[in-house]
Amino acid sequence: MNDEEKNYLDFYLEELEGIKSYTEEEKKDLLVKAMSGDKRAKNDYISANLIRVTELARLYVNQGVPLDDLIGEGNVALASSMDVVEQEEDASEAEEMIVSMIMKAMEELIADDAHSKDAFEEWAEKANEVLDKARELSEDYLRKITIQELCEEAGYTEEFVRDVMDVTGGGIEFIDMTGEKNE
Write out the DSSP string of 119-171: HHHHHHHHHHHHHHHHHHHHHHHTSPBPHHHHHHHH---HHHHHHHHHHHTS-
* pLDDT of 31 over the 90 cut: yes
CATH class for the domain made up of 3-114? mainly alpha
Name the residue ranges covered by the structural domains of the chain.
Answer: 3-114, 118-182
- Cβ partners under 8 Å of residue 168, min gap 6: 127, 131
- pLDDT at residue 173 in the model: 67
The 10s digit of each residue's pLDDT in 95-124 is 999 999 999 999 999 998 877 777 788 888
Number of helices (H), then strands (E), in the chain: 8, 2
